[in-house]
Every structure is written in structure tokens, then in C-alpha cells.
Structure 1
Amino acid sequence: MAEDAKVAREAKLAQLLNQTFQDNNQISSTPKIQRVPLFWRQNPDFYKYCIPKLISFGPIHHANENLRQQGQHLKSQWTSLCIEEYSKQVPLYNGNKQTAANYLYGVVGDNIVELKELFAEDVIEEYSDEELIWMLFEDGCSLLYYMDHVDAEHPEELKLKLDQLMYIGRDIPLLENQLPIKLLQLLSKTQGADLDYLITNFMSMGEEKRSGRTTITIPIRNHILDFLRSFYFHTEIEQNIPNQNGGIQMPPPPRPRPRSSLVWQTYKNIRDLRKSGIKVKANKSDEWKWHDITFTSRWFGGELTLPLWIFSNVTHYFFRNLIAYEMCPDFHNNFECCCYLYFMDCLIDDAEDVKELRSAGVIQNLLLRDEEVAKFFNDIGHDLPAKMCNQIYTTDAAPISKKYIQVMRQIQQHYSSGWRTFLAETRSTYFSSPWSLLAFLAALLGLILAVLQTWYTIHSPTN
């Protein structure tokens, strides 16, 4: 028995010493389409916002019977209409739907090996190649048709009611509902040249097509969720430097900061900042960039500018899926969304803080109560990775977080300045309204007159 245990132990040691990192766990700028990380799937209050409610795209939720009953007939209709348009608009097919269908199905089949590489193994392992080809062919064509014809003013064009149109629009950006951009390029009438237009038209719910505006151009790397993330956040990533083993060179470990340079955060919410004279204003930029924040310190107060935030029923889904995407183990990114939400969580404790930001024009709350907005930030803020990068340890792994840390330090330095706080409180107490200013000037004038009268009485020639 002892000899058997020794052999077993040596076998396990040999297996351990031969372990290497799997390719699908290496950090990359082109992550595979995968499930929400297990860390978040274990949190039911988070994961429920990552599951499609009406329609599925791709292999992860394809077998969900409820989604098949609700969405499969829609995808089949849209695929047929997409092929019909393709046959008419691509001169080679001269309106022949069957020939166009054979070509589009064939182009997916011809590229199935490359397309499979864009998915995590565990999400496609239960499908045969033939099943996967048909799924990607139908899902890709139907998604292209939806994005081209979505119109909030005319949902009937997609054979939908308005509520169905909105629910499907909410399902499309979910992390587990993504299709590779490569697939959409293969099935597009222009081999992908119109994808930025189609996605922008989807984002605007048809406004892009109705207005005839020139579409913006944003590099589309991975899928629709990645495009939306690039649209709302600054996502330039420093060039990856390969290491000697051909992988990506990891950043250095966190560096302790000298204790003398630490600035501890003592304010708790936006109301604390207001007491110290800090006002919040909405950013006037036309760009929807949520990282565009600034802070300016002045003698009698400070000014914090924040981007506009429209809070709706979609917000719960969109931001949780962005968080899950940024935390995928093979995705190299700077945690732009996580850092922004962490920053906002430092400003919002309860509904009163939301009311302050709403009054400042920073938050537009389309929900019923400000408590819901506050709860969103409080619930989501607990486990954000950005909270690991604090005032003691900084890291070059997430350069975008440095901007938030810098602004937070500027706010703290202003907030902890005693004389600025005194000036702000004095201004708030005595000069908060024209009437208080007039009262102060009247009192000052009365004091001056009294002093002059006293002086005149003492120094009068008659005396």
C-alpha cells in the first residue's frame, strides 16, 4: 500500500510540474465569446441581468426552450428577409434568394474552423459543426436585419410591438448573447463596411437611418458589446509587449506609496462635498464619454464636472454586462467601466445624493424613485476590482484608473483644507442669497457709520 501511495504521489507531482497556462486564459485584446465569469454567476442578483429575456443569439442560450418559443420564429422571418434583401442588393444574385441563401450558408461553413476559435470551448462543445453552422448563419442574418430595420417609431417594420422591440434591444448587448464581428462581416452585404452604421443605427433605435446622419466610425474589434464600450469609454490600451515565451508581458506588481504622500478620503458623499463649497455641474461636451470628469479648486469652493447619466431600466443590464466583460480572464483592458462606477459610488450613499446630482443636471432618472439609483450604485460597488487600487497601492495595470484617483485626490485636498471650508461655510451662511448679502452690507454700512460717528464725536472741534 505504501508503494502504491508513493507511485500515486509521484504521478501527481509529475502532472503538477508539467502544468502550463491554457491558451484561452491568456490575456488578449481579442477575448473569446464566453460566459459571464463564475465570480458574477455565483451572485444571482447580478447574473439575472446577464440572461436574455426574449431572444438569444449565439450558442450559450440557444438551448433555452423559453427563448426558442419566443424568439425563434422572429429570427427565421428576419433571416428570410435578410436573404431577400441580399439577393436584390448584391448584383451577382439578381434577386435569386435560393442562390444567395446557399452562398451565405456556405460562407459560414467555409469559415467554421476560424469562427469556432472565437468562442470559448465550453460554450460550443455540445454542438456539432453542422448545428453550429446553421445557428450562426441564422442568428447572424437575423441580427443584421434587426439592426438595419430597427425603428422605435415604426416597430411594425420588424413585425414587433414597441415593447418587444425594446426588450430585444436590451437583450442584444448582453455578454452571453454576442456574435463575433467576423461572422457579421462575412454575412454583411458589404463584407462588413457598413457594420459601424448598422450598430449605430441599433444604438439610436433607428434615429441614424431616419435622420440620414453620417455615422461615427469606431473600430469594431470583437462584438457589439465591445463596440458600445468603446463608444462610451476611452479604451486606448498601451501596446502589448510580447515576453520571451511569446505571451503578453504582465505589468509590474503594485508599488507602495510613501506614507507622507497619502491622502485619505474622508468625504462620504456628494452632500459632504457641497458643505465644503464644491458644486457639481454637468459636462457640456456633446461626446458621451463617461470618463470625462474634471475638478477645479477655487478660493470659495470647487467645481466637479461629471458626464450626463440617464438612468433607465436598461442601465441595470448594460453596466453589469460591461463589468462582466471587463472581468473576463482573457480580456486585456483598463477597467474603464469599473473605475467609473467606483468613482460614482464614492459620491452616492442614498437617495438624497441622487437628488443632488439630479438637481445639478448630472443624473436624469427615468425610474420612479431616487432610491433605486442609489441602490444600484451601492449594490454594484462592493466587488468592483477598481476598489483594489487605492491610495496606498497604485499599479500600471489599469492606467485609466489613475485619472479617477487623481481627481479624487484633488477633491480630498480641497475638502480637507480648513480655510477653504471656512470660506465656503461663511459664504453659504451670509451670502447664499441676495437678501443675506443686502443684510450684510446694511450691517457693514451701519458699523462704518457708527465708527465714523464715534470718531467725529471724539475729534469734533467743539470738544
Structure 2
Amino acid sequence: MDDNIVMDDKKMSCGQEVGMSSGGAPMPSLHENECTMLGEASGNSLIEPLLSPDGPVLPMSSAEAHVHPRRKAMVGCAAGYFTTKSVTPSVSLPTIYKVPERIRQANKDAFEPYEPQIVSIGPYHHLKKEEFEKHKKLYQKSILSRNPNHLLEDYNTAIEKLENEARSCYSEDVRLNGSEFVKMMVLDGCFIVELFLRAKEEKFEGDDPVFSTISTLPLIRYDMLLLENQIPFSVLQVIYEKASPGNGSLVEIALDFFEPIIPKSKENKIEVSNDQINGRYFHLLHLFYSYLMPTPREKSKKCKILMFLCSKGSNEAELPISNNRSPPIKNEAELSMIPCAAELQLAGVKFKKKKDFSSILDVEFSGGVFKIPQLCIDDNTNTLLRNLVALEQLCYPRVTFHFTNYVGFMDCLVNTSKDVALLRCNGIIDNLSGSNEDVACLFNQLCSGIFVDFENNYLSGIYKDVDKYYNTPWNMGWNKCWGNLRSGYFSNPWVGLSSVAGAIVILLTIAQGLYNFLHY
């Protein structure tokens, strides 16, 4: 895997300087536009899809590498890794992917986090949830009644004009003829838009198939955020404008619909800026992803700090080396691996829940104190995080690598159930599902089989500060000794009392011995 880093269950990789290939030669850099966030240009937190001068850039096979010589600077460029359609630079590249087996196999759970549970949307899982199709048709009938000026034929005609564009959004060939494809797009689009409108208006019948039961709506929310379960946002926009003209922004009502599962502080409510309303989105997952992006604090395009990930069961992080390449050159600025939460606590690092944050990705470290937004772990957290990471893995560099870096960071902190207990105690993890061991396993598996971009890691400054703090002589000596003493003999009040009582007995015994010796 040339110039790529693969993260594994047991080994997390690190080791080469940004902008350098494994042999030390300069790597082709991404075009400046591909490293620019809209938020840096316009002052808001929305991240614009990253584009090259010739359009969106995606990892491609070695046979196509001559089209984009910047291939080496991308993540996931291994030949044959992605099963995508052959495209030319003049054709829009896909945005809706089938998740590759390499990523799928990393999930060891009983259920499939990339496939819908209730409702199938788009061609990849078309009719797999056939029992819900009748409910879609009811929603379609309802949305047609909202604007009598437009009949079903009008919707079909409008989507027919978008057929080629919509087909090009899918990485796999869609085996539906034109009529079937348009019919599917209109039905699924009408269902989604009507669902959004009913949720906003809170007007629905008692026998509504979605709102009448307590469990259906939450599952549908997560189904609509699966990478494989998408239709183009442009299709939704056309249907929304015909069905509900002058009723606000589709972006706003979509984010309102997803608000219950958007990680945010209680002090912050859903606020959508004009730039976000007018933004360009691939699909609903991309909209959700874009809203979660943190506000950029620095305008650095190139980060020279390496990202080091906790190695599970290994003392050193290793970079896989092929037969025809040299080991990575060790740099003087190279950082040590970031220890897990329990080890950091022994070195005097404190963990605090960040109370006011705009994004779950807003992590801070200063003066030996981590401030991390609370992450609620429930039965659907694995599904949501995996699909956000899959979006980055397959659509990079048109999107950032922030969630990949975030789950890598959490994997560093969480090695065992002991680390989970520590983070729960400090309010950083709210575990609503399973045991501490289950949460540790979740983070350890999330990083398996994914690629990491070291060049654009938004947490690079934090890795550097933690390494500097952790390896100071004071923390290496006194703080760790005191931490070990505290964790071993004062882990809870009863153990602490027993330790004090034992120490008193030892001191009295020594005093009695000295007294007897001096009077002998």
C-alpha cells in the first residue's frame, strides 16, 4: 500500500513525515483547493466539499493514476481497493458508495451497520425492505395533495431530467431501466420529504406507520444516515420545491428532523447559517456530516505534526513495509505514542467534560487538562460512527478526515474497560448500552482496516501538546509515582482506610521496636 497507513485492531501505525514518501522523496501535494475549508474562507463552520480544478477527486486504480498524478497524496489509493465505475475527468465522480469488504469485515457485531433495518432508500438496497414500500406510497400520495398544481407526472418529468446526474452519483452500476430508476427516485424522495414535513408540522394520523410506534422513527433516522442508503440531495431539493414552495429551507427541516441524534451540548440549539442553507451537499449523510464539522480555529493547510495512535498489545507502533521500500525515516520531531486515559491520569492529566461545544469533534488540551465533549453511546452509535468514517474513507479529499481522526483519538484513550470507566466517571462517555468492555471493544474495532491522512489531521496540535506534557521529567517521575500509589492504595475510600490503617500499624511496630532497642 504505497504511501498509505492502515490501522489495525492490534497495531496502529505511524512514522513518516508529512509530505514525504516512504523513501524520503517529496510526495505530490494536493491542490490548494483540495485542502481548503469553506469555513476558513467565509467564517462559518461548514466544510465545503473539496474539489480539484477538474472536479471532485477520488482515489482510483493504478490504471487511472495517469489522469490524476496527485494520487499518492490521497488516502486509500491502493489498486483494486475500491469497486467503482470507470470514469473520465469530465464526468462527476460518485458520492454514494457500496462499503468495501475491507471495512465491512472490521465490524464484528451480529448486525450489519451499513444496511437498513426499517426502510431502504435508493438502488443498493432497493426492495430489500419490501414490507415498507406500501408506507412509502401512502406518503407519496400525501405529498401530492400538498400542491395540487403538480401531478405525479410532473415529479417524474422533473426527475427524468436529472437521471444521468443521479446515476453518476452511484459507484456501482444501477441495474434499473430509465423508467424504473425515475420511479424509485420519486417514490423515495417523496417519502423522505413528506417525512420531514410531518415531523416539522407534528401533524400525523394515529395509525401513521412511522410516528405511531416509539421505536420506528429513531431507527428510520439512522437508516437515512447510512452511506449505502442514499439518493442525491438534488433529487430531494426538486421534490421539496414542487411539494412545498415557500415553506423554508430543505436543509433546515432536514436538520430539525435529525436533531435528536445530533451530538451537541444542551446549551446549543440547531442553528443553520445562510452559508449552510446554500451549501452543496451530496446527500443526507453528507449534510449531517457537514453540520457536525468544528469551527476551524487555525488556517494551517499543512500540518507537520505526526499522528500517533495507541498500539493495542504492542510497545511500538509499526509501519507496514513492502519488499521494495525502505523503512520510514525517523524524524527528530517524531512524537511518542499517545497513552490511554488511565496512563495519562497517572501522569497527572485531568479529564473534564466540555460543557459548551458546537461539535462533538471540539477537543481541547491545555495545562494538563483534557476538555472533551460528552459522547453518548447507545445501540446505534456504532452504526453512525462507522458510516461517517466510511463517507470520509470513500469521498476523501472532497470531505475532511475529521471523524477518522476523532475515532482514532478515542481509540488512543480507550484501551480497556478501565479507560472507559475513567471517562465515564468524568462525564466524557455516557454509556447507555452494554458494559464498559463493550464500549472499549467498539472503539478498538472502529479503527480496524481504515486509512489515516497524516497531512490534514485537525488534532495534530493536541497530539504534540500531550506528548510534550506526558514526557516532562516531573510527570515521568513524581506524578506517575503518586498516581500509581493513589490507584493501588487509594482507589476507593475502603481501600484507602485499609491502607492508612496498615501504614499506622507498620509505623507503631517500628516505633515499638526502636523503643525496645533504645531501652535494652
TM-score, length-scaled by structure 2: 0.63
Q: Does 1:283 align with 2:346?
A: no
Question: Whole-Å Cα distance in 2 between the matches of residues 152 and 363 of structure 1?
Answer: 34
Question: Whole-Å Cα distance in 1 between the matches of residues 344 and 90 of structure 2?
Answer: 39
Q: Summarize deviations over 1:365-411 as a string: whole Å, max 9, x none.
A: 1113122111101111232322xx6xxxxx53xx2x1x323212221
Contact between 2:379 and 2:433, CA under 8 Å: does it hold in 1? yes
Question: Whole-Å Cα distance in 2 between the matches of residues 381 and 223 of structure 1?
Answer: 25
Specify the alignment match of 1:10 in structure 2. none
More helix by percentage: 1
Amino acid at match of 2:227: L
Specify the alignment match of 1:178 in structure 2. 230
Match of 2:382 among 316, 327, 330: 316
Q: Summarize deviations over 1:193-227 as a string: whole Å, max 9, x none.
A: 521122112112599xxxxx874233341111011
Question: Whole-Å Cα distance in 2 between the matches of residues 26 and 377 of structure 1?
Answer: 37
SS at the partner of 1:33? Answer: coil
Q: Cα–Cα, structure 1 residues 24 and 364, in superposed 2: closer, same or farther, change >3 Å?
A: farther
Q: Cα–Cα, structure 1 residues 80 and 215, in superposed 2: closer, same or farther, change >3 Å?
A: farther
SS at the partner of 1:118? Answer: coil
Question: Whole-Å Cα distance in 2 between the matches of residues 206 and 259 of structure 1?
Answer: 42
Specify the alignment match of 1:296 in structure 2. 366
Match of 1:33 among 96, 105, 114: 96
Question: Whole-Å Cα distance in 2 between the matches of residues 86 and 53 of structure 1?
Answer: 31
Q: Cα–Cα, structure 1 residues 172 and 25, in superposed 2: closer, same or farther, change >3 Å?
A: farther
The range that moved more, 329-338 or 177-186, is 329-338
Match of 1:118 among 127, 152, 169: 169
SS at the partner of 1:260? Answer: coil
TM-score, length-scaled by structure 1: 0.70
Contact between 1:149 and 1:157, CA under 8 Å: does it hold in 2? no
Q: Does 1:420 align with 2:420?
A: no
Cα deviation for residue 133 of structure 1 reads 0.7
Amino acid at match of 2:136: K
SS at the partner of 2:147? Answer: helix
Specify the alignment match of 2:190 in structure 1. 141
Q: Does 1:358 align with 2:458?
A: no
Q: Summarize deviations over 1:97-149 as a string: whole Å, max 9, x none.
A: xx4322222211233233223233x241x100000010001100001111222
Contact between 2:338 and 2:466, CA under 8 Å: does it hold in 1? no
Match of 1:167 among 211, 219, 235: 219
Match of 1:103 among 129, 154, 160: 154
Contact between 1:344 and 1:377, CA under 8 Å: does it hold in 2? yes
Specify the alignment match of 2:306 in structure 1. none
Contact between 2:223 and 2:229, CA under 8 Å: does it hold in 1? yes
Match of 2:181 among 106, 117, 132: 132
Give the RMSD, CA atoms, in angstroms.
3.8
Contact between 2:363 and 2:371, CA under 8 Å: does it hold in 1? yes
Match of 2:119 among 23, 30, 55: 55
Gap regions ≥5 residues in structure 2? 1-61, 68-84, 263-268, 302-326, 501-520
Cα deviation for residue 175 of structure 1 reads 0.4
Question: Whole-Å Cα distance in 2 between the matches of residues 349 and 256 of structure 1?
Answer: 26
Specify the alignment match of 2:258 in structure 1. 203
Contact between 2:113 and 2:386, CA under 8 Å: does it hold in 1? yes
* Alignment size in residue pairs: 370
Cα deviation for residue 310 of structure 1 reads 0.9
Q: Cα–Cα, structure 1 residues 331 and 23, in superposed 2: closer, same or farther, change >3 Å?
A: farther
Q: Which has the higher contact order (CA 8 A, sep 6+)?
A: 2
Question: Whole-Å Cα distance in 1 between the matches of residues 144 and 63 of structure 2?
Answer: 53
Question: Whole-Å Cα distance in 1 between the matches of residues 434 and 90 of structure 2?
Answer: 41
Specify the alignment match of 1:264 in structure 2. 336
Specify the alignment match of 1:190 in structure 2. 245
Gap regions ≥5 residues in structure 1? 1-15, 88-92, 94-98, 208-212, 241-254, 390-394, 440-463
Amino acid at match of 2:334: L
Q: Cα–Cα, structure 1 residues 38 and 239, in superposed 2: closer, same or farther, change >3 Å?
A: farther
Q: Summarize deviations over 1:31-61 as a string: whole Å, max 9, x none.
A: 4322113422455637811011111011111
Specify the alignment match of 1:410 in structure 2. 465
Specify the alignment match of 2:294 in structure 1. 234
Q: Summarize deviations over 1:160-215 as a string: whole Å, max 9, x none.
A: 311122221221100011111100111012389521122112112599xxxxx874
